[in-house]
Structure 1
Amino acid sequence: MKFLSFILPILIAVGIWACGSKAGDNQRQQSSETPDENVVPIKLTAVSTVVRAEPVVASGLVSSAKEARLSFKIGGIINQMFVEEGQTVRKGQLLATLDLTEINAQVSQAQLAHEKAERDLGRVKSLYADTAATLEQLQNATTGQNVAKQNLTIAQFNRNYAQIRATVDGTVTRKLTNAGEFASAGASVYLISSNRQSDWVVRVGVSDKDWARLRLGNRATIMLDAYPGHTFTGTVSELAQAADPVNKLYEVEIRINPGSVKFAPGLFAKVTLVPAQNRSYTLVPVESIIEGNGKEGFVYVLADDRKHVRKTPVQIGFLENDKVLITNGLTGIKDVVTAGSAFLTEESSVVVK
């Protein structure tokens, strides 16, 4: 009886241990047969290199290369204005005149002063010949006659420019005053833009970095809001040699060919310039870019142990169809993660499929 009470606990303990060992073996077997759900399958795509000229994109307004702000030489009351906004004018055409009442009086006054100075000079010359006048008096009379002659020339010149004539063949884009108003000397009265096909330009502002890559003659494509779906071609005709003091941008003038389309000053244009200067880019699929923000983004690349990935920052140049041109960040990298990148972190275990 004592023997049974001693051996029974031992048998029960052995039985419990045997059951636990079998359950553990079964659990380990099931664990080894179940795949690790934390392993993310990924696909790698090889990066390539391409040489391109990165375009410069800017916006501006259509205008004429030959624009004129026409004004009177002197101030006065406007007598007549012969053209209105939108009218076509020819070079040399009379556009406006001043009231000549005051101006003619000034010419007459200068004419009378000149005649008197000539008479005075004649008398002094006669007196000087009779030794009744001094050399100083003769010189003063000669100077007075010359001054009077120059004043007459000024008065006549001002009368000739008491009118406005067109300086180019074009269209009146602005009429800033009306007949009967007082026009100050040099104040704009008409704005005229040349309407020749070869005179249309687009002026845009670019940064110093983009300005340095542009050259005269570089090609450009232009899109106008007024003509959606229509692409115009152009070339760089002028590059500013100093930045605008307000916006710090450099002005670039692109001469545009309108073809059979009607243009007008002020049309909004989006310009894509193609510099002649090329550079090398790394080319990757667009789906490899994550957390893209403007010119910055990230890609995943395979770590050295080939079981994990690392997140690498890149500088984005521009998009080209389904590819992204990278300017910096993938030096020495041969492959980037494409499929599966949306589910990755740097702690993820991966397997290449």
Structure 2
Amino acid sequence: MKIIPLFTSLLLATALWACGTKAEESANTTTTAIQSEDAGPVDAAVPVKLAPVSSVVRSEPVIVSGLVSSSEEARLSFKIGGIINKIYVSEGQFVRKGQVLATLDLTEINAQVGQAQFATEKADRDLARVKALYADTAATLEQLQNATTGNNVAKQNLTIAQFNRSYAQIHSTVDGTVTRKLMNEGELASAGSPVFMISSNRKSDWVVRVGVSDKDWARLKPGDRASVNLDAYPDQTFSGIVSKLAQAADPMNKLYEIEVRINPGAARFAPGLFAKVKLQPAQSRSYTVVPIEAIVEGNGKDAFVYVLADDKKHVRKLPIQIGFIDGATVLVTGGIDGKTSVVTAGSAYLTENSTVVLH
């Protein structure tokens, strides 16, 4: 009867020992897992490839757009204000240099000339009278001088009135076409307000005016060649030459105006035609050449590339300036000085903290 309690005690002791062993193993396993988490994951090395950096001397073209116009353009107006009496031409009409285009009503202007003439005649009589009195010592030298001055002033006023009357009509200043007629007969024209816009239509006068940046302006000079494509003639390319360079930037857009003189050949041109211009500077410059797949995070002319760090296990991210893209390569204007290679394959997966391995 005493054997059963003893056997029960042995079973209980064995069970307690087994539970303690399992709890210790579980605690050890948990501790190991925590220590593994504290150590952090191990970054895998990113496999990359390098490509050599080269240099080339090129004359980078400048691609811009603008509008066709005439180098001989005129905004014609009246010298004085008045009512427009007659307009002799219409828009689109060809005119000759010196041709009368419009006249003012001369009623008021003729009256002003008449007043000036009467004032001049009176000043002549006054001067003659004072001279006679001065000869008889009945007038002073001051009176004679005042009469002389008054006579000269009257003559100058007559000259002004006659000059204004001669400019009470508009004459064409060039052989060309009336591109715009801004006023009509019977309207009140203010002095200096444009009434006509005239453009020369000689073949040698057609130009395209475009705006370029300061860097491109510095590379261009008069005589540089250009090719011009017009939307009006999509299948033709016209030759051109840089004829003028502005010496100051436009205060609104900060660009420098370039005038390209073009040869229309047998084509018919008109002011306002849209043109795409490719300027070819004679001045060359040196570029650094990298594969296009090395470029990351491009934004206009600004981009980045990765290069191998000094320890050969990490990379550095360099900002660069893009000149232009030439097929599968990029011509870089700055940012890779002194570097002999850049990362190509694998660059899309890199950060500046990445570990790399060459393959």
Query: Is 1:190 aligned with 2:230?
Result: no
Secondary structure in 1 matching 2:232: coil
Counterpart in 2 of 1:252?
Answer: 258
Counterpart in 2 of 1:26?
Answer: none
On the 8 A contact 1:78/1:97 being kept in 2, the answer is: yes
Which deviates more from structure 2 when the two are superposed, residues 308-317 or residues 45-54?
308-317
Counterpart in 2 of 1:77?
Answer: 83
Cα offset for 1:235? 2.3
* TM-score normalised over the length of structure 1: 0.78
The aligned amino acid for 2:68 is: V
Cα offset for 1:350? 4.5
Structure 2 gaps of 5+ residues are 1-43
On the 8 A contact 2:210/2:259 being kept in 1, the answer is: yes
1:201-350 to 2 correspondences below 5 Å: 201-299=207-305, 313-336=319-342, 340-341=345-346, 345=350, 346-347=354-355, 349-350=357-358
**In structure 2, distance between residues paired with 1:313 and 1:70:** 53
**In structure 2, distance between residues paired with 1:40 and 1:147:** 94
On the 8 A contact 1:61/1:202 being kept in 2, the answer is: yes
**In structure 2, distance between residues paired with 1:192 and 1:154:** 28
On the 8 A contact 1:67/1:193 being kept in 2, the answer is: yes
For residues 275-333 of structure 1, the C-alpha deviation after alignment (integer angstroms, 9 at most, x for no partner) is 33322112234344444432234456667788887765543211223332122344444
What is the aligned length? 313
1:79-98 to 2 correspondences below 5 Å: 79-98=85-104
**In structure 2, distance between residues paired with 1:50 and 1:63:** 37
Counterpart in 1 of 2:145?
Answer: 139
Query: Is 1:121 aligned with 2:136?
Result: no
Query: Is 1:56 aligned with 2:62?
Result: yes
**In structure 1, distance between residues paired with 2:163 and 2:101:** 18
Counterpart in 2 of 1:107?
Answer: 113
Structure 1 gaps of 5+ residues are 1-37
On the 8 A contact 1:201/1:255 being kept in 2, the answer is: yes
Secondary structure in 1 matching 2:244: strand
The aligned amino acid for 1:250 is: Y
**In structure 2, distance between residues paired with 1:286 and 1:107:** 77
**In structure 2, distance between residues paired with 1:300 and 1:150:** 80
**In structure 2, distance between residues paired with 1:343 and 1:58:** 33
Cα offset for 1:233? 2.5
On the 8 A contact 2:213/2:255 being kept in 1, the answer is: yes
Counterpart in 2 of 1:168?
Answer: 174
* TM-score normalised over the length of structure 2: 0.77
The aligned amino acid for 1:198 is: S
Secondary structure in 1 matching 2:199: strand
The aligned amino acid for 1:317 is: G
1:150-169 to 2 correspondences below 5 Å: 150-169=156-175
Cα offset for 1:245? 2.0
For residues 179-218 of structure 1, the C-alpha deviation after alignment (integer angstroms, 9 at most, x for no partner) is 0000011111111111111222222222223222322222
Secondary structure in 2 matching 1:230: strand
The aligned amino acid for 1:124 is: V
Counterpart in 1 of 2:20?
Answer: none
**In structure 2, distance between residues paired with 1:297 and 1:123:** 90
The aligned amino acid for 2:189 is: A
The aligned amino acid for 1:283 is: V
On the 8 A contact 1:309/1:350 being kept in 2, the answer is: no
